[in-house]
Amino acid sequence: MEAIRQTHSKSDLQAQIAPKIGEYFAAKRWAIFFFDQLPLNDRNFQDFLKIALSIEHNPVVRYLAERYAPVHEALVTTPKAWKLICPRPDHWHVMAGPIINHGQIVGVVGCTREKAMPAFDSENLVDLGAICLHLSSWVATGGSEGIFAGKLQQPTFNNGFLQNGKAERLTPRELEIAQLVALGQTNAEIGNQLWITENSVKQALKRMFRKLEVSSRAQMVAQLSDTRLHSSGANSDLFNSVLNSR
């Protein structure tokens, strides 16, 4: 924990802290990576993300995205199913934990073991949770330069928003999509960031519109925002970007 606190860059985290984490968990492989470092302009890599690291195909990633909590593969799937998802022999056992900033998963800590090695257990998850908490604090208190720049100006949405007495609520995933809509991102851009297909984003928006009884992206953002997006200068630009996005 002290080593994390004294680290000054993401590259130092990856070069100095990740090996310590791997050693602590007796892992075969280990890594700390941030999503803003991924080569999202690489078409082949995008295709890889949409399959191997998508919430639709990978239950470990889905668990991370829905719960913001560390997970190992045995919590969410069977050995037979996991072998189909990740056939690498040095990834027979996996454990991953989220790095959180401004309500978004901005990175992941991961460890793997071979089949002959012991599986990760609940104690490992507790320890990884503590590490992820410290990494998230590191990101939030100065180590986050360059990570999702501009997110500080995004509106804060009310989880469990009630409209006209209705008890329907947006899911955590739907709130994430709403945040990105508010930033003016297109459906394709949202899909790339959340590792889901563009069609999944479209279908999610349809459900969200029905829940909130709105007919446009701008109406949805205005309804969910703590303050009307067009009430101030900075937010006016954001509101216009929503109106112009597709």
Q: Which domain holds residue 100?
A: 2-143
Q: Return the pLDDT at 71.
A: 95
**Backbone φ, ψ for residue 40 (5° rounding):** -70, -15
Which CATH number goes with the domain that contains 213? 1.10.10.10
At residue 108, the pLDDT reads 92
CA dihedral 59, 63, 65, 69 (to 10 degrees): -150
Give the total number of structural domains in the chain. 2
Strand order from edge to edge, sheet including 104-113: 29-34, 104-113, 93-101, 71-72
- Please identify, among 81, 108, 143, the residue that sits at the C-terminal boundary of a domain: 143
Taking the CA of residue 11 as centre, how many other CA atoms within 13 Å lie in the half-sphere pointing to its CB?
A: 1
Per-residue confidence (pLDDT) for residue 45, from 0 to 100:
66
Q: Is the domain of 191 the same as that of 96? A: no
For each of the chain's 246 residues, which pLDDT tens digit applies? 888 888 888 888 999 999 999 999 999 999 998 887 776 666 776 676 666 667 777 889 889 888 889 999 999 999 999 988 888 899 999 999 999 887 788 889 999 999 999 999 999 999 999 999 999 888 887 654 434 433 433 444 444 433 333 335 778 778 878 888 877 788 888 887 777 888 889 999 999 888 888 888 877 877 776 433 333 344 444 434 444 443
Do 68 and 160 reside in the same domain of the chain? no
Pairing of strands 71-72, 93-101: antiparallel
Boundary-marking domain end, from 110, 125, 143: 143
N-to-C CA span, the chain: 43
Q: pLDDT value at position 179?
A: 80
39 and 6 fall within a common domain: yes
- Do 52 and 94 lie in one domain? The reply is yes
